[in-house]
Amino acid sequence: MFGRRTNQGYDGYPQQGRRGNLKITIIIGLVMAGFALFKYYSAEQVNPITGEKQHISISADQEIAIGLQSAPQMIQQYGGLYPDQKTQDLVKQVGQKLVQGTIAAKSEYPYEFYVLSDPNTVNAFALPGGQVFITTALLGRLENEAQLAGVLGHEIGHVIHRHGAERIAKMDLTEGLTGAAVIAAGDYQSAQFAQMVGNLINMKYGRDQELESDDFGVRLLIEAGYDPQALMGVMDILEQSSGGQTVPEFQSTHPSPENRREKIMEAIKKYNSGEGTH
């Protein structure tokens, strides 16, 4: 023992006072955690296309506004818009075919499709509200129009399923719980642990979204008259461009290519048999 036991703590403060302060911080942390959970679970909306109940706190109009506001920054980040107008027109044509000739036509989002000039980053993504992008690095690796439709259909799936809005709500929940844990524990190490747990939760959430968008992309391809097997070729291209799976799936924001291929084949069988379209 390196100190003399008294009615005070070793730092000179009364032990009873320290225990009281600790109880207060724990109570505050629990209240904050409860508020974050209540806010998340009470914000529920029914997706008008899929019929799914989702925890979302923003409207479709707000999603559209977020996408439009974010688009210029994303375009700049990926080297600007690709200057060849024929290429831009082709991507827009395929994108609009997927929207106008499928269930996506019932969506209220104003879809726009763009090619980005980035020749190095193999990527495609969608912003909330219908802004869809593909880089020339990915576009140049695709072998046919059906594969392009597969990529764009997957991104439309993210928009239809409102994945951006879901992730905003999920991130708000994670931040609220992390803040509550920091206040309750009162130390940096606990804050780091809480943040790590939150990141793993959101990774799992992201992987589920990718599989959901693969499934919806298959549906759009079939409804628009494309061969859904083209998505299998896209998986090969993505795997080759990344050099193969480099981290365990539980540490990745995307499912493993093998898992995605399996789910895509299941979706092809499902939609070709007429299931999942009602």
| Domain boundary assignment for the chain | 39-272
Give the predicted TM-score (pTM) of the model: 0.75
Kindly state the percentage of the chain with pLDDT values over 90: 54
Distance CA 98, CA 220 (A): 6
For 129, the 3-state DSSP assignment is coil
The tens-digit pLDDT sequence of the chain (278 residues) is 434 444 444 455 455 555 556 567 767 766 776 766 766 667 689 998 998 999 898 899 999 999 999 999 999 999 999 999 999 999 999 999 999 989 999 998 999 999 999 999 999 999 999 999 999 999 999 999 999 999 999 999 999 999 988 888 877 777 766 766 666 666 555 555 555 555 554 555 578 899 999 999 999 999 999 999 999 999 999 888 876 544 443 344 567 778 899 999 999 999 998 876 65
**Burial profile 253-278: b = 16 or more Cβ within 10 angstroms, e = fewer:** ebbbbebbbebbeebbeebeeeeeee
Taking only Cα atoms into account, the Rg of the chain, rounded to an integer number of angstroms, comes to: 24
Distance CA 14, CA 254 (A): 52
Give me the pLDDT at residue 108, please.
86
C-alpha to C-alpha distances, 39 to 9, 162, 276, nearest whole angstrom: 39, 18, 31
Give me the pLDDT at residue 150, please.
97
Segment 210-213 long-range contacts (CB within 8 Å, at least 24 positions apart) = 210/253, 210/254, 210/255, 210/260, 211/255, 211/259, 211/260, 211/263, 212/157, 212/161, 212/163, 213/154, 213/155, 213/157, 213/158, 213/161, 213/163
**Are the beta carbons of 80 and 117 closer than 8 angstroms?**
yes
The pLDDT tens digits for 194-239 are 555 555 545 555 788 999 999 999 999 999 999 999 999 999 998 8
**Are the beta carbons of 156 and 118 closer than 8 angstroms?**
no
Distance CA 118, CA 75 (A): 9
Give me the pLDDT at residue 193, please.
53
- Contacts of residue 106, defined as CB under 8 A and 6 or more positions apart, other chains included, come to 48, 49
- Helix or strand run (H / E) with residue 132: strand 131-135
Give me the pLDDT at residue 157, please.
96
Give me the pLDDT at residue 196, please.
56
Give me the pLDDT at residue 263, please.
95
Give me the pLDDT at residue 249, please.
35
Give me the pLDDT at residue 248, please.
41
**Are the beta carbons of 21 and 15 closer than 8 angstroms?**
no
Give me the pLDDT at residue 183, please.
66
